[in-house]
Structure 1
Amino acid sequence: MPLTYAIAPVTPLQRLARPVGLALAILLGHTSVSAAGVWNFDTSMGSARGQHAGVLLDDGSVAVLGGVNRLGFITGSERYAGGAWSSIGASGIAGNVAEAVTLGTGQVLVRTDGSLQARLYDPVANTWLDGGTQSVLRALPSMTLLPDGKVLVAGGGSAGGSQASAELFDPQTRSWTVTGSMAQARRAHAAVLLGSGRVLVVSGFDIGGEVPGAEIYDPATGTWSLVAPPLVPRHYASLTPLPDGRALLAGGFTATGVTTHAELYDPVFNTWTATGALNFPRNGMVGSPMAQATLLPTGRVLIAGGADGARNTQPVAELYDPATGSWAADSVMHIGRENGTAHLLPDGDVLVAGGFSSNPSLTFYAEVERYTPELPAGPQPVVNALPLLQRAGAALSLTGMGFTGGGGASTPILQLQRADNSALMWWPAASHTGTTFTSPPLGTLPAALYLARIVVDGIPSNATLVRLTDPPGTPVGTAGSAQVTVTWAPPANTGGNPPDGYTVTASPGGAGCSVAAPATRCTVTGLANGTPYTFTVQAQHPNGSGPVSSVSAAITPVAVIGSSPVPVPGLSPVGVALTALAAAALAGLGRKGARRRG
């Protein structure tokens, strides 16, 4: 459980694609490995810290934010890239516990239990920005990225107990709006985004003890519904989405102490079922501040760290196998710790940073460890990097090597994994070779940073990071002399990643124009009269260039003589010439008529 400091005034405590059945059977059927993963020390942080927030950024680096140590609240934050840590400055807010979510813009929304003010970290500019003002102070709420790119913050402790209220952060406006309240006030609860796009919150703690119930938030209506309660009420537990759509609730603090109990929630049948128990009682496992476990690319769940009821930290990690419903002791961390962060990296390793232990004395850690999971025998496929922003709903194409396995006859599978909550999805190949893979259309997916991998014979490749966004609408144009004015509609769905501006490109020749958002109109000059041109538009987002729009119809600029009409888009060069001659003749007749009347 988190520690509490009183150094300053502070409040007390998708829709998923579902070729899952076949893909999961193929994946887990190939991952019968008996050897354990390996823990190795990595570069230490500049500051020891626990109860901090941590996020994976769009470039594959990791940021750790806020937290506490023996000196009190930590105002500074750090970023890990290329095996080294660097300072990213102070957020301007502090508290006992920090939470953070990476938004569709690539910026990071950060909040603490000691401030109403939220902050945004911009990793591109390496600066801190205003994140708006929340409606109420909250200690240990849940913080969930929704499918539309907004962020739901629910519950949390307050001066009078716990909150039932909830609010939404909108990255488009950088503002907070109150949404529907839960039926039960709670803090230190578990929360996860389900495959339906709704949010499940489970149990937690209030003045009277553990909260016995669970609720689901529907973003479409902004309302909560009570669902079946967990078998064992708890707080500081882990809640992890499984590949088959169920959610795994494990460990935590119950009315009788820290537990090994684990259970599964099935959202289709609204039931909780006991599953295999942990080998060790633990709460405050490393992960998010709410102790999210890590779903590995193999489909197994890694739980590491945490402490028992006597605050003894647990250095032995465990793996949960959904195929057998059981936990197996895996390997031993160099430092047992609780309330640190854990991040699944693009290379498949898990980076554990910070945390603390209480026995024999309170010790905060700057030390960082890297967990490398054991993979089945065989060659590992390799995926080349893609541009970050890919077209939403479309097929995804990857290149690399080893896509057909060591024998050259294996079938690859595309795996997408959400960086914010580890949820896994799979697609078979629409077409593939040993070095190329094209998926079927992906359909509508939740806004998120995704790790895209190819899995061959149960062996996952490294990941390339992608986000999915709509392109601008197909442009239309109005021709002028040596120019065309182009207009378009903004992207229909940005996933919380609104454009900063747009770039228009003409073909042939590559001439173009740019405009800052929200404008959706600009004029391409320097074109040749009589030459047909087509145009595309590309949105420029805070974290990169978006997908290119569909190509416009051909538009032909023409010299405007006198009061000649605007040429019809797509008019042939002969038609352009005749139009110009007719316009000149009409203009001449007009002038002669005027002289006769005079």
Structure 2
Amino acid sequence: MHDARFSPTATRLPNGKVLVAGGSGTGSNLASAELYDPRTGRWALTGSMHDGRSAATAALLPNGKVLVAGGLGDTGILASAELYNPRTGRWSVTGSMHDARFEAATTRLFDGKVLTAGGSGDTGNLASAELYNWRTGKWRTTGSMHSARSRQTLTRLDDGRVLTAGGLDSSFNPQTSAELYNPRTGTWRTTGSMHDARSHAVASLLPTGKVLVAGGGNNDVGALASAELYNPRTGTWHTTGSMHVARDFPTATLLLNCQVLVAGGGNDTGFLASAELYNPRTGTWHTTGSMHSARSGGTATLLLNGKVLAAGGSGPLSSAELYNPARF
């Protein structure tokens, strides 16, 4: 990439290119953004955001624009949000959130609205949640979670509900609890708790409808290798095979062959280059090719050709690499 970035956002556009925006650079939070073209394997700078931000959220909207919201700026935590227009390569300011937040979680609902929940705010970790309406460009508050959370997972289920799990609570301790958001009522309800407390874990919706949550950090034991599955039909979790390596702040990508690629992260040995694959049929992990660079807090994006683009990470790093599932 043109700029080294830690904790940027990455969004695959409808044309197959990948937009990487913001992140923490060398000494400042970045406003710059760039596009990766899988056809050429090259990056090109595009329009810069109005605010430099890291640990923000990003979502692709139904109209093809990209919403980036919140994050940590050089002057503090941000409530502002902006839209990237792929046709013009420019950003425009849109409605601000009601709460400034970074390290929040976001997902797009079936109706095209964007749900953003939790994160760390000016007064600590947040339980609040809000919805962005892409038609009006405005946010409105929705039901708050039962527990404050930052660095949690947020996964839209096949039935339209949204599962949040783990994260740091109001005392900044990793938690096991999980909740479900119902878009029809705008409310959350508690569901079964995970077996392990974890923050900065990764979550993937499997073709079976279950949710795989893996890795993350825990104050008592450090980085975790454990993984567990959430069953929306029963509202319960059960453990599945553990990874070969404990990983805090890795990336996870559901591949076209339905396996889950988890790569990088960190543990007490340092930042990791290793990667492994989860097989939903067997509930087991096996190691796969390692990245050329150790990465924690980087991005991983599934390309239209089935390869995975890994970019940035702790350092910060400007390097990028491609994982080819066909080679392993």
Q: TM-score range by the shorter chain?
A: over 0.9
Conservation of the 8 A alpha-carbon contact between 1:48 and 1:365: yes
Conservation of the 8 A alpha-carbon contact between 1:94 and 1:112: no
User: 1:370 maps to which residue?
Assistant: 322
User: 1:237 maps to which residue?
Assistant: 201
C-alpha distance in 1 between matches for 2:31 and 2:53 = 9
User: 2:261 maps to which residue?
Assistant: 302
Conservation of the 8 A alpha-carbon contact between 2:201 and 2:214: yes
C-alpha distance in 1 between matches for 2:300 and 2:166 = 23
Please list every run of 5 or more consecutive structure 1 residues that lacks an aligned counterpart in the other structure.
1-44, 287-292, 357-362, 377-598
Matches within 5 A, 1:202-281: 202-208=165-171, 209-256=173-220, 257-281=222-246
C-alpha distance in 2 between matches for 1:128 and 1:159 = 26
User: How far 1:75 moved relative to its partner?
Assistant: 1.3
Q: Deviations over 1:470-503 (max 9, x none)?
A: xxxxxxxxxxxxxxxxxxxxxxxxxxxxxxxxxx
C-alpha distance in 2 between matches for 1:224 and 1:309 = 35
One-letter code of the match for 1:276? G
One-letter code of the match for 1:272? W
User: 2:74 maps to which residue?
Assistant: none
- State whether structure 2 residue 11 is matched by structure 1 residue 55: yes
Distance 1:375-1:269 versus aligned 2 partners, 3 A rule: farther
User: 2:291 maps to which residue?
Assistant: 333
- State whether structure 2 residue 250 is matched by structure 1 residue 285: yes
- State whether structure 2 residue 30 is matched by structure 1 residue 74: yes
Conservation of the 8 A alpha-carbon contact between 1:94 and 1:115: no
C-alpha distance in 2 between matches for 1:179 and 1:364 = 35
Regions of 4+ moved over 2 Å? none
Q: How many residues align?
A: 319
C-alpha distance in 1 between matches for 2:84 and 2:129 = 23
Conservation of the 8 A alpha-carbon contact between 2:46 and 2:90: yes
Matches within 5 A, 1:119-158: 119-158=82-121
Quick one: which of 329, 345, 361 aligns to 2:303? 345
Quick one: which of 129, 132, 136 aligns to 1:169? 132
Q: Secondary structure at 1:210's aligned position in 2? A: coil
User: How far 1:274 moved relative to its partner?
Assistant: 0.5
User: How far 1:86 moved relative to its partner?
Assistant: 1.2
C-alpha distance in 1 between matches for 2:300 and 2:234 = 31
Conservation of the 8 A alpha-carbon contact between 1:246 and 1:264: yes
Q: RMSD over aligned Cα, in angstroms?
A: 1.3
C-alpha distance in 1 between matches for 2:313 and 2:265 = 9
Matches within 5 A, 1:396-545: none
Conservation of the 8 A alpha-carbon contact between 1:164 and 1:181: yes
Q: Secondary structure at 1:245's aligned position in 2? A: coil
C-alpha distance in 1 between matches for 2:190 and 2:268 = 30
Conservation of the 8 A alpha-carbon contact between 2:147 and 2:169: no
C-alpha distance in 2 between matches for 1:349 and 1:198 = 29
C-alpha distance in 2 between matches for 1:307 and 1:375 = 25
Matches within 5 A, 1:24-63: 45-63=1-19
Matches within 5 A, 1:542-557: none
User: 1:184 maps to which residue?
Assistant: 147
C-alpha distance in 2 between matches for 1:375 and 1:336 = 20
* Structure whose alpha-carbon radius of gyration is higher: 1
Bigger helix fraction: 1
C-alpha distance in 2 between matches for 1:180 and 1:254 = 28
C-alpha distance in 2 between matches for 1:284 and 1:88 = 27
User: 1:481 maps to which residue?
Assistant: none
- State whether structure 2 residue 70 is matched by structure 1 residue 112: yes
C-alpha distance in 2 between matches for 1:265 and 1:158 = 28
C-alpha distance in 2 between matches for 1:217 and 1:58 = 27
Q: Deviations over 1:510-544 (max 9, x none)?
A: xxxxxxxxxxxxxxxxxxxxxxxxxxxxxxxxxxx
User: How far 1:271 moved relative to its partner?
Assistant: 1.1
Conservation of the 8 A alpha-carbon contact between 1:161 and 1:206: no
C-alpha distance in 1 between matches for 2:186 and 2:316 = 40
Please list every run of 5 or more consecutive structure 2 residues that lacks an aligned counterpart in the other structure.
72-76
Matches within 5 A, 1:387-402: none
C-alpha distance in 2 between matches for 1:347 and 1:95 = 30
Q: Secondary structure at 1:374's aligned position in 2? A: helix
C-alpha distance in 1 between matches for 2:276 and 2:234 = 28
User: 2:123 maps to which residue?
Assistant: 160
Scaled by the length of structure 2, the TM-score of the pair is: 0.95
Conservation of the 8 A alpha-carbon contact between 2:80 and 2:100: no
Quick one: which of 30, 45, 49 aligns to 1:87? 45
